[in-house]
Structure 1
Amino acid sequence: MTRWKLVAMMTCAAVLGSPATAQDKTTSDAKPAKERKTCRSLMPTGTIMATRVCNTAAAWKAFDAYTADGADQFRATYRMTSTGQKPN
């Protein structure tokens, strides 16, 4: 009789243990969370209508760095033409 109890307990343990492993597999296959997007209103040159653009924080950081670099280049060119000297 103890042999049947042991077999029954092993079967129950196997049945009850399998959903936990299946659940672990589904959580490991889950998609990563999406990055939060923020939106800005941009005014393109030549129009009075603003355009709404949505990007992630990393994309906005790259956009801000690109536009700041362009503004610095423009200022450097303006300084060179107005004073006749090259910028630092």
Structure 2
Amino acid sequence: MIHDEKDPRQYSAESIAEDAAIGAVGGTVLGLLTGGVSALGVIGGAGAGVAVGNITAPQVVVLRPNQTINLTLDSPVRF
């Protein structure tokens, strides 16, 4: 059985910064709509963006170099 895990590409600095930027913009927009932009709202939005990005990261199967994989055939292989 090969197990899946969260996509390691979602943990890159670029991906985390992108999630934070989206959240910060969201926090700013909510602040504008509710009557005032605050640093706390922007920082909270950035933190929420990072959290949501981490939670929603896709599950993938990662095959690493030098990893042994055992295969079982259900029927004979024909060449």
> What's the TM-score, normalizing by structure 1?
0.32
* Higher relative contact order (CA closer than 8 Å, sequence separation 6+): 2
**Structure (1 or 2) with the larger CA radius of gyration:** 1
Whichever structure has more strand as a proportion of its residues is: 1
